Structure 1
Amino acid sequence: MSKVQLREVAFARSGDKGNTSNVGVIPYNEDDYEWLKRELTVEKVAGLYGELVKGEIRRYEFDGIKSLNFVMEEALSGGVSRSLNLDAHGKSMGNLILRLEIER
C-alpha cells in the first residue's frame, strides 16, 4: 500500500456556523468514494486537527452525491463575532484536511 495526500484525490469546501466548523470532502472521481469512506475516519480527522477542535467531530455520509461532511464543534474560538482568529470563518480548515495522508 502507498500513501497519497487527500488533495490528490479530492477537493474540500469549508464553512462555519457560530463556533462550529464544517468541512466537506468530495472525490474528483466518484469511484473513489467508497475508499474514502473507509479511510477518512473521524479518528484520522481528529488527529489532524488536534487542539484546533475542542469539541466533538461527527462525520456525515452523502452517498447520493458521493461526499463526506465533517462537523466540528468548538473549532472556531467562539465564532466570527467573538473570535480574534485571523480565520474566524474556518476557511483554512478545508485546506488543512487536504494535507492528510491516507492509504491507497
Structure 2
Amino acid sequence: MASRSSILTVPLYRAAHGRTGDKGNRSNISVIAWHPALWPALCGQVTEAAVMRQFAWRRPSRVTRYVLPGLHAMNFVLDDALDGGVNEALNLDSHGKALSYLLLDMTIDIDAGLAPFLAGGPQAP
C-alpha cells in the first residue's frame, strides 16, 4: 500500500467486491463498495475508461458503466471481450466469471481517513 501524504493507493478489492457473469461474447462485472463511505472514490476512479485500460489486452469493443447509487454499486458491460463466447473460445480462463478478479486488481487512490472502511483494515497489505 503506497502512501502520498494523505492518499493511499490500494487494490480495488480492498474497497469493493465483485460479481461477474457472461452471455455470449459479453461480460458483465459488478463492483460493490464494502462501505458507503468508499462510494465516491469508486465512482470517480472506476470509470469506463479505466476499465477499458484494465482490459485493453482483451480488446473489448465497448465498455458501458451502469451506476446503482442506492446499492453503492456499478455494473460494467464489456462487449466482445470473451474470445467469441463460451461455445467458441478455446481459453477457459477468458470467460466472464474469471474477469472480476482482474478488475478488482486495479489500483485506486483513497483518502487515508477512509482506511478503516477498507477490507482487511488499514494495515493489510
Structure 2 length as normaliser, TM-score?
0.78
Alignment of 1:1-104 (within 5 A): 1-87=7-93, 89-104=95-110
**Is the Cα–Cα contact under 8 Å of residues 53 and 72 in structure 1 kept in the other structure?**
no
> What's the RMSD between the two structures over aligned residues?
1.2
Larger Rg: 2
Structure 1 length as normaliser, TM-score?
0.92
Unaligned stretches of 5+ in structure 2?
1-6, 111-125
* Corresponding pairs, count: 104
Describe the superposition over 1:33-84 as per-residue Cα deviations: whole angstroms up to 9, x where unpaired: 1221011111111111112133100101011211011100000011111111
The runs of 4+ residues in structure 1 deviating greater than 2 Å are: none
Identity %: 36
Describe the superposition over 1:4-25 as per-residue Cα deviations: whole angstroms up to 9, x where unpaired: 1101111011110110001000
Unaligned stretches of 5+ in structure 1?
none
Q: Pick the structure with more helix per residue.
A: 2
SS at match of 1:82: coil
* Letter of the structure 2 residue corresponding to residue 45 of structure 1: V
